[in-house]
Structure 1
Amino acid sequence: MKDVVSIRRENLQALVDQFGLTSVAKRMKRSPTQINDMLAERKSFGEKVARAMEKEWDATLPVGWLSVEKTAKDGEDMRKSNVVELKQKPVPDIVLQQFDTGGAMGHGIELRDQPGIIQSWRVNPEWLDRNVRAHSSAKNLCIVTGFGDSMQPLFNPGDPLLVDIGVKSVDFDSVYFFRIGNDGYVKRLQRIPTESGLVIRARSENKEAYDPFDITESMDFEVLGRVLKVWRSQDF
């Protein structure tokens, strides 16, 4: 006879097989690593933990359903067991809106040579988990439509840029979205130590057409966000 912990692992594995690791972990308020450790017997799966996970999955289900051995026929949906139908709650999509160049900052930001605007993207949490691992918060992510040719071949005008607007300072060398006065820029910003202090140098990818320039303290400079990902288009 199987012990109760083995039964819990089998039932949890069946949920992961059907709904996916990310969805199960999110719904049960555990990290994917914790779920994997439970399945691999690296982490305890006791009564208290099982009851908490059952409640997070669906508080209306009978207590102890994770500990009941599945008796359904091979191939039958895991949502139907000898105990209860496990209903999957819909996981809401995440909408990544375009960056607001207007009223939020009290003045307009001009993005020159922008060929139209990508207004929003709709993605599911799994896409975000797998493709955008380093960000301050999902609510801080937005889309900036590529403008100008200074960053070619990294991206082209009209290409989507994923920006984290939770980043407000140049803490390390990377590609940033920023403004000087009312003009918006996307450049690689480099921190350069000098005898007189730290200098931030803006560099373009299109080095033949655009020279680097230094951002001085006298400039009206503001970091609007850090560019996390770009998608470069190619015509066929």
Structure 2
Amino acid sequence: MDIYEIRKHNLVKLIGSQRKGACAERWEMSAAHLSQILSDKTVKNLGDDVARRIEVIEGLPRGWFDSIPDDTQELETGPASAAELVKQMLAKSGKGLSDATRQRLMAAAAEESHENVITVDVSRPGLVGDEVWIAHYDVRAAMGGGQIPHDYPEMLQDIRVSPTHLREMGVKFKDHFHLKMITGWGQSMAPTIKDRDPLLVDITIREFTGDGIYLFSHDEMLYVKRLQKKGKGRFKMISDNKHHEPEEIRVDDTHILARVLYVWNGNPV
């Protein structure tokens, strides 16, 4: 199960026999929005902000929606074989796989489970605490002349990380729910950030908090650049590539969207 299947499963369990319209009203969302999330015919997902809001309203622990449900494996059936588990997985989320791929997965599961059974730890903690999902957005922020931002960024994939490990690497953040991944394009921030490097950003930082690398829009274009304050009303926009000269831009024309915390090539920022 990916993070959205987990959330949907927990949402269905939370609603139970309640009227969906009443739930939607209580959760400050439209009934149509809730129906889209619950439907198997749409790709509408339960996002971070809505999940956290429902948790607060219902008095649930933060991250409850992201916990792997303990009822995904029927306890009374006893331990399941690897082949059976793979078969269940393929039935739920393997519709796009070819027959050849399905057969290879089943064969690998049968080979792995040479004793025919494995025990399933259904009490394993969910993706809260030291294992979290970070959404990767289809936002191409140019490290050169600027990119026209998408009106509605769509998620490409989720990245599973350990907040503890991130902090050990020197990444400073308050809450992992506010971390997102984007992609940098261009060479003007090389060697710190190379073309198409994934970037870890904090989307709660919407104003200048000191010299650093930011995701920001300026003149309707999207950038990833270093910013330095120059006087009251101007920023110095700096490229790490020495072939690109720094520019001065007006603070009033610059809208900070996030701060870059880490480059996924291991380079510090």
Bigger Rg over Cα: 1
Higher helix share: 2
